Amino acid sequence: MLIVFAGLPGTGKTTISRAVAKALAATHLRVDVIEQAIRDAGVPAGAVGASGYGVAQALAGANLSDGRIVVADCVNPVAASRLGWRAVAARAGVRLVEVEVVCSDAEEHRRRVEGRVSDIPGLVPPSWEAIRRIDYEPWDGSRLVIDSATLSPSEAVAAVLGIVAQDRPD
């Protein structure tokens, strides 16, 4: 199974996706970590582009082919990146669960963004202004929407695990 988390920075994707990965003993792939590693290797920040997604999708495919559950954590803002994840799941012949994490309370979202400290060495989190400028395209398919302004992290994790458990053999 491939579980892909998407949403703007500061909505709670990493908190929720990490907990889901832990509960499922799954491989957790965080695009922020991959992109920072690419920058640390000497690639200029402006040249990273979609490389992080390409690496994450390749790693996901390899882990899926080894029979592992994979949880991907990324902004996933455009249709092309979402199609990429769908293609990975299709090639691996696994179920895809797409989860979009939103924060419907703009004040709370801003508070989280402005209070964040990066847990990735060298990564400077985006500012509130930068997040507001992200071109986040509307979704074209079904997905589980988690509103982190109305659900606690544990409630959000339970909602995701409930969807994951559907149609799964015991």
Report the CATH number at residue 14.
3.40.50.300
Provide the domain count of the chain.
1
Q: Which domain holds residue 41?
A: 2-165
**Would you say residue 134 has pLDDT above 90?**
yes
Please report, for residues 33, 49, 66, 153, 160, the alpha-carbon distance to residue 137 in angstroms, rounded to integers and kept in the order given: 23, 17, 32, 25, 22
What is the percent of the chain with per-residue pLDDT over 90, rounded to a whole number? 89
- pLDDT at residue 46 in the model: 82
- Residue 169 has a pLDDT of 61
Least confident of 10-19, 38-47, 124-133: 38-47
**Residue 122, in any domain of the structure:** yes
Q: Where are the alpha helices (DSSP H) in the chain?
A: 13-24, 31-40, 51-65, 79-92, 106-115, 128-132, 153-165
- pTM of the predicted structure, to 2 decimals: 0.94
* Cβ contact 6:99 at 8 Å: yes
Is 170 contained in some domain?
no
pLDDT of 101 strictly over 80: yes
CA nearest neighbour of 131 among 48, 4, 11: 11
**Within a domain: residue 125?**
yes
pLDDT of residue 10: 96
Closest by CA position to 98, among listed 70, 125, 63? 70
Residue 34, token pair as written in the block: 């991959």
